[in-house]
Amino acid sequence: MNFLFLYWLYSNYIVPAFALYPVFWGIKNYRQLPDDFKILLIFIILSSVFNAINLMAIALYHYPTVKWLPFYTILEFTSIALVFSRIFNKKWRSAIYILILCFAVACTANSIFVQNKIEFNTYERPIGALIIVGFCMTYIIKTGTIESKWSDNNFNWINTGLLLYYSAGLVMFTFSNYFLKPSTLTLIIWTIHDTILTVEYVLFGIGFYKIGTAAKTLLKK
């Protein structure tokens, strides 16, 4: 029981609190943020609001919020795809916009006609994660020939966070319906997942922080 309470505290309060780290530096350095960072900042804020509503719905009304996951999946994929649409060349944007539309339609159809019970959307979320991993790997390939210090590229921190979370989350998203019932193994797996999410928030925060540092450095020159 103590372990279950600690997990509940960690998952519902401590991990979401780490989202405040990138949000703080994002808002503080907002004027210096490029479009891709602004889109990511909006997503982190909306995601935090979604998590807060999700927590209240469960705690106060015992509402099965798994039903909301398709909407969050669309928001998540759309936001991150838009981030990369600003990172890649303009010729990529039309293709990414079409991909976003197709993904949203697929998510909606799946939630209505296929996985319309109280369960995780284990079809489209792994596909979305796989596409995001593809975006991250494409970015690494495209920037691999650029001669510069890795840490000086602010988006490297963002890309690393995304790659870590969604590559690790592929298995979790696929088999999440098998981890709905409380057990020691389930708690361990979800704890690992939440810890990776925490690392992602920290990496995002470093990226947002370094935007302000780079701006100050340029002002001194």
Q: Residue 99: what pLDDT?
A: 97
In a domain, 140, yes or no: yes
DSSP characters over the chain: -HHHHHHHHIIIIIHHHTTHHHHHHHHHTGGG--HHHHHHHHHHHHHHHHHHHHHHHHHHH---GGGGHHHHHHHHHHHHHHHHHHHS-GGGHHHHHHHHHHHHHHHHHIIIIIS-SSS--TTHHHHHHHHHHHHHHHHHHHHTT--S-GGGSHHHHHHHHHHHHHHHHHHHHHHGGGG-S--HHHHHHHHHHHHHHHHHHHHHHHHHHHHHHHHHHHHH-
Q: Residue 171: what pLDDT?
A: 83
Predicted confidence (pLDDT) at residue 16 exceeds the cutoff of 70: yes
In a domain, 221, yes or no: no
In a domain, 219, yes or no: no
In a domain, 90, yes or no: yes
In a domain, 220, yes or no: no
Q: Residue 149: what pLDDT?
A: 81
CB distance 58 to 79 below 8 Å: no
Task: Quote the CA–CA distance of 169 and 171 in Å, as a whole number.
Answer: 6
Q: Is the dihedral of CA 164, 40, 110, 11 positive or negative?
A: positive
In a domain, 166, yes or no: yes
Amino acid at 47: S
Number of domains in the chain: 1
Q: Residue 216: what pLDDT?
A: 45
In a domain, 144, yes or no: yes
Predicted confidence (pLDDT) at residue 63 exceeds the cutoff of 70: no
Closest CA to 190 of 10, 1, 2, 5: 10
Q: Residue 89: what pLDDT?
A: 87
Q: Provide the pLDDT confidence category of residue 220 given band limits of 50, 70 and 90.
A: very low
Task: For residue 121, give every residue at least 6 positions away whose Cβ sits within 8 Å of its Cβ, in sequence order, or none.
Answer: 69, 70, 73, 107, 110, 111, 115
When pLDDT is averaged across residues 114-121 and rounded to a whole number, the result is 73
Q: Residue 217: what pLDDT?
A: 42
CB distance 25 to 209 below 8 Å: yes
pLDDT digits (tens, 9 = 90+) for 120-173: 777 889 999 999 999 999 999 988 766 678 888 899 999 999 999 999 988 888
CB distance 166 to 197 below 8 Å: no
- Give residue 145's domain range: 2-214
In a domain, 93, yes or no: yes
19 vs 171 pLDDT, higher one: 19
